[in-house]
Amino acid sequence: MKKYTRSFVLGGVGGFLIAVFLLAQEIELPFDTKIEWLVGGSVAVAAAVFGIAFVRLQRLKKAVATKGMQVEEDERDRWIAIQSSHIADWLMGGLITSLFTFGVSAMYYEWTPTWLIFGLGAYFLFQLVYIRVAMKQLLLLSHPDIDIPEDLNVLPLMDEGEKFVMYEGMMKAYQVMSQLLLLSIILTIMYGAWTNTTQLFPILLMSFIYLIGHGAYQKTYRHLQY
């Protein structure tokens, strides 16, 4: 079995087990409504994505530590940079998925405190903390010779080539995310009009997130200018 397929299966199995455990506390199986399926599926996906990111990070650390790669140093550095980028993508995907899962379950249960909502909220907070720890580990793997600042802001330490690559990636990611967010706002407005329900809170929340994201992008863009 290919190693990535193995990590994906491992993450999927782990996610399924966690989802069954959490949901068995609150929802009688089999799931009765589509929303329950959505919540259950979201929990499984969130846990699976985290599992994949965690397993891949451990494998990368092991590969670097054992120096098992019989390749040239340049190819080794390039491989580490690519793997780190993939793992960072999975970590962000896990964070977004956990937030989505928390939001859907909270709205479904109308913000009534339940173990499921508390558990998913705690899981999201755990992701926030873990992503910071994991990003520092990734930075240490890809840049073993520099002192990583406590705030993980390595922009001042980058040279122009690294800033160029980050800028290119950031431009593409920002454009995709902002378009998705705007599309979500439009769909939410249309949904509100179609169902004659007030969608003010989600629209305001998404608009706030869009503005925060735009501000963060501008701030980073100014740092990357050279």
Partner 1 sequence: MRNRVKELRARHDWNQTELAKRAGMSRQTISLIERNEYMPSILIAMKLARVFEEPVESIFMFDEEELR
Q: Would you count residue 167 as binding partner 1 (CB under 8 A)?
A: no
Nearer to partner 1, 81 or 209 (CB): 81
Q: Would you count residue 147 as binding partner 1 (CB under 8 A)?
A: no
3-class DSSP assignment, residue 153: coil
Q: Would you count residue 111 as binding partner 1 (CB under 8 A)?
A: no
Task: Take residue 126 and report the two structure tokens written for it.
Answer: 């755990």
Report the greatest alpha carbon distance in the chain.
Answer: 63
Among 34, 66, 159, 222, the residue binding partner 1 under the rule CB under 8 A is 159
Q: Would you count residue 21 as binding partner 1 (CB under 8 A)?
A: no
Minimum CB separation from partner 1 for residue 163, in Å? Answer: 9
Residue 104 to residues 39, 83, 110, 120, 182: CA-CA distances in angstroms?
7, 31, 10, 10, 19
Is the N-terminal amide bond of 30 cis, ω within 30° of 0?
A: yes
Minimum CB separation from partner 1 for residue 160, in Å? Answer: 6
Q: Would you count residue 88 as binding partner 1 (CB under 8 A)?
A: no
Q: Would you count residue 155 as binding partner 1 (CB under 8 A)?
A: no
Quote the CA–CA distance of 177 and 183 in Å, as a whole number: 10
Minimum CB separation from partner 1 for residue 166, in Å? Answer: 10
3-class DSSP assignment, residue 47: helix
Among 13, 35, 162, 174, the residue binding partner 1 under the rule CB under 8 A is 162
Q: Would you count residue 165 as binding partner 1 (CB under 8 A)?
A: yes
Q: Would you count residue 149 as binding partner 1 (CB under 8 A)?
A: no
Q: Would you count residue 140 as binding partner 1 (CB under 8 A)?
A: no
Quote the CA–CA distance of 96 and 50 in Å, as a whole number: 11
Minimum CB separation from partner 1 for residue 95, in Å? Answer: 26
Q: Would you count residue 161 as binding partner 1 (CB under 8 A)?
A: yes
| 102: exposed, middle or buried (Cβ count in 10 Å: 0-12, 13-18, 19+) | buried
Quote the CA–CA distance of 124 and 180 in Å, as a whole number: 21
Among 6, 32, 160, 171, the residue binding partner 1 under the rule CB under 8 A is 160
Residue 225 has phi, psi (to 5 degrees) of -65, 135
Q: Which residues make up the interface to partner 1 (CB under 8 A)?
A: 72-74, 77-78, 81, 158-162, 164-165, 226
